[in-house]
Structure 1
Amino acid sequence: MTDSTNTRRTHGHSFLGGSHDENARRTRSVVALTLIMMIGEITAGYLTGSMALLADGFHMATHAGALGIAALAYSYARRNSENRAFSFGTGKVGELAGFASALILALVSLGIGIESAFRLIHPTGVAFGQATVIAAIGLIVNIVSALLLSGAHAEHGHHAHEPHHHDRHGHAHGTDNNLRSAYVHVLADALTSVLAIVALLAGRYLGWVWLDPLMGIVGSIVIARWAWTLMRDTAAVLLDKTDQHVADEIREILSSHGDTEIADLHVWQIGPEARAAIVSVRAHGALTAETIRSRLAPVHEVRHLTVEAT
């Protein structure tokens, strides 16, 4: 007997996650803050002739672009959440935006690393006092932005530098990688500001001019690592990598009854807090697909279930 219906007879395909709208609002606020800081720095740079201000302003523009992608992804996903042109909804739009942001972050780290290496070999004059003020203002903006994002980010139990946590059943908690990408961009900006402040103070008071480009290289390596981690995680979702923890629980539940044999099993992520599953079983005796479905009801991550019983 084959039954390819979903867990619910009448169901939608909106798998955006419970915090989608709140995360979107927070991200838009951070985009506004970043744009204001970017415009202020570029304007001040032109008026004062400060290359340090201009450079930091255009650097912030790349992050504003990445954060803008995150904000647009939230809007697009919400607007098309019930669009049947998307077979499993738009819950993975955030993963696509997160992957794009990770690429931008990787390019930013590469640019910082190359420029820092060049300045380490060919030192240039640095207006330590002015540059320190710029870095301090940037850090304040980044702290405010991080506070806006961290509340929602912490609800998922993840940080950019931490491994995924699992609950007592071994499941990964829902991760909004679109929000995570915005959070990583803010962390990257904050890191560069902190390293810059340390290096600039050392250069001003200790004469360690070489520390400024060295800190730039250190920062670029850390940012590159964050970019790679984000790229790896979002690519796994985009390529429908098996959610092994959910798949293992499904196998454990079905094998515990002793009257079924799994012929085929597919489990993949379709939203921050949602998984889809296709389960094909060989039943030993009169066992219906509805019975199998009821046995799998405790697997709360599975929001779209297809069962085939033969």
Structure 2
Amino acid sequence: MSEIGGAAFPAIHSHVFLSEGHQKSERKTWAVIWLCGAMMVVEIVGGWMFGSIALIADGLHMSTHAGAMLLAALAYTYARRYADDPRFTFGTGKLGDLAGFTSAIILAMIALLIGYEAISRLLEPVPIHFAEAIPIAVLGLAVNVASAWLLSGDHHHGHGHSHDHAPHDDGDTHRIATDDGDVTLEVFEDGVPPRFRLQSEKSGARLSAAAASVETVRPDGARQIFSFEDRGGYLESVEEIPEPHAFAANVRIGAQTYPVSFEEHEHAHGSAARDHNMRAALVHVMADAAVSVLVIVGLLLARAFGWLWMDPLAGIIGACVIASWSSGLIRDTGAILLDMNPDRRMADNLKRCIEDDGDQLVDLHLWRLGPGHLGAIVSVATAKQQEEQYYRAKLARFRSLSHLTIEVKHIDRSVSASVA
């Protein structure tokens, strides 16, 4: 707190609303650009030296691939460099969403072009040079697989959640010291129903699912036992964890039991927590890879059985796949750019949290500031003598509320009762 003229004012807070892995994502995107750029040069030079127009054409296609990645990389770089610029009232966290929206539009246009060209070739078949086309398609697939691997990096299980971070203790994760080394227990709910995850920090060590369990004890005395199954590298509870996530837990590992305490913390869910800039880059390379697979299959069948229509048919299917992925990306990023409610579940929980002791939530604005960062304006009507700090403390469990403005309206209980 700072004081001006004897009055206390809150200190100016940060408006940096970038994702936790922003710089790592930026480095990975630039790495993919170098890969695509190198492959583009090799294909164009090789095509010119060996007189292959198909190789040159694929090299030019690779340049558009690198261009799409460049858009994502520049968005990461610009957002990082200008994160503290006061001209951006709510930071630069949405720049990735803008880049994702732009990439989705480009993908939709590519889908239309592929579809148009495929239908044209279906109506008027053209000769196919299989000896050149198939190796180029295989090469393109290899580059796309390598690009997807570089971009995905340490994101496991398809939920965009990294397990390479240093373990820490907070409301959702606890480190437990055992005789065989430290173990982490966390409540994992990133895009999936909430479950316990138990993992040894000791290199090469694996826990036994049969020798582990968790018993939760809630404030009302209710108890529940959770069993585990091996997920390869970590254990995951078979049963889902009911809300709220506030309870004492007895963690059994072998013959020992370790007590821990979980507090209720809530994070952004679904689209509100995603890095849509990285998602757009991944969708681009995955769409390209999917088209490459379809093209390879179509070319092989066309060469083996003379089915020249298989090549354009593969193009039409690929165009539909790309259009489907791009439409989903346009929908999600467009909603963020228009400040639509990014997390209805959190909005409902905010309302319950405010109104659980008789107060009324008069108005609520919830919007996304960046990946995993939400802004909220909360207006509360109360007949009690409560001020802003009381409600700020009540909402502290919502970890994703990075920018919170609270308005408190005091009402006369006798007046409100007479009106009712």
Report the TM-score when normalising by structure 2.
0.68
Any idea what SS the aligned residue of 1:281 has?
A: strand
Distance 1:292 1:264 in 2: 14
2:354 to 254, 259, 274: 254
Deviations 1:236-274 (A, max 9, x none): 11111112222111101111122x111110010001010
Quick one: which amino acid aligns to residue 352 of structure 2?
A: E
Larger Rg: 2
Whichever residue aligns with residue 189 of structure 1, its letter is D
Query: Does structure 1 residue 76 correspond to structure 2 residue 176?
Result: no
Deviation at 1:136, TM superposition (A): 0.8
1:277 equivalent in alignment to 2:303: no
Q: Structure 1 pair 298/166, CA: closer, same or farther in 2 (3 Å)?
A: farther
Of 54, 58, 61, which aligns to 2:60? 58
Q: Distance in 2 between matches of 1:282 and 1:27?
A: 47
Tell me if the contact between 1:170 and 1:245 (Cα under 8 Å) persists in the aligned partners.
no
Give, in angstroms, the shift of residue 291 of structure 1.
0.1
In the other structure, the counterpart of 2:301 is: 202
Instruction: Kindly provide the CA deviation profile for residues 89-120 of structure 1, in whole angstroms up to 9, marking residues without a partner as x.
Output: 00010001111111111111111111111111
Aligned length: 299
Q: CA contact under 8 A between 2:347 and 2:366: conserved in structure 1? A: yes
2:43 alignment partner in structure 1 = 41
Q: 2:95 aligns with which of 93, 96, 99?
A: 93
Distance in 2 between residues matched to 1:190 and 1:272, nearest whole Å: 26
Say yes or no: does 1:296 pair with 2:395.
Answer: yes
Instruction: Find 1:222's aligned residue among 321, 329, 348.
Output: 321
Alpha-carbon shift at residue 153 of structure 1 (Å)? 4.9
Change in Cα spacing, 1:40 to 1:59, as seen in structure 2 (3 Å) is: same
**1:179 is matched by which residue type in structure 2?**
M
Residue 172 in structure 1 maps to residue 269 in structure 2: yes
Q: Show the 5 A alignment for 1:72-221.
A: 72-154=74-156, 157=159, 165=191, 168=194, 171-173=268-270, 174-221=273-320
Contact kept? 2:268, 2:373, Cα under 8 Å: no
Contact conserved, 1:62 with 1:104, CA < 8 A, in 2?
no
| CA deviation vs aligned residue, 1:271-293 (integer Å, no higher than 9, x gap) | 10100000001112101111011
Which residue in the other structure is 1:5 paired with? none
TM-score by length of 1: 0.91
CA distance in 1, matches of 2:101, 2:347: 25
Greater alpha carbon shift after TM alignment, 72-81 vs 133-142: 133-142
Identity %: 46
User: Tell me, which stretches of 5 or more residues in structure 1 are unaligned?
Assistant: 1-7
Describe the shift of the 1:262–1:14 C-alpha distance in structure 2 as closer, same or farther (beyond 3 A).
Answer: same
SS of residue matched to 1:305: strand
With over 3 angstroms needed to count, the CA separation of the structure-2 counterparts of 1:62 and 1:153, relative to structure 1, is farther
Q: Distance in 2 between matches of 1:43 and 1:116?
A: 27
After superposition, the Cα gap between the structure-2 partners of 1:90 and 1:264, relative to the gap in structure 1 and judged at 3 Å, is same
Give the structure, 1 or 2, with the largest relative contact order (CA under 8 Å, sep 6 or more): 1
Distance of 1:102 and 1:57 partners within structure 2: 22
Provide structure 2 residue ranges, at least 5 long, that are not aligned to the other structure.
1-9, 162-189, 195-265, 410-420
Query: 1:141 & 1:242 partners in 2: Cα distance?
Result: 38
Shift of 1:48: 3.3
CA contact (8 A) 2:267 2:398 kept: no
Q: In 2, Cα distance between the equivalents of 1:193 and 1:114?
A: 17
Secondary structure at the residue paired with 2:49? helix
Task: State the Cα deviation string for residues 69-94 of structure 1 (Å, max 9, x = none).
Answer: 00000000000011111011000100
More helix by share: 1
Residue type of the alignment partner of 1:205: A
Counterpart AA for 2:35: L
CA 1:74–1:167: 2 relative to 1, 3 Å: farther
In 1, Cα distance between the equivalents of 2:385 and 2:158? 42
Cα RMSD, aligned residues only = 2.0
Q: In the alignment, residue 112 of structure 2 is paired with which amino acid?
A: L
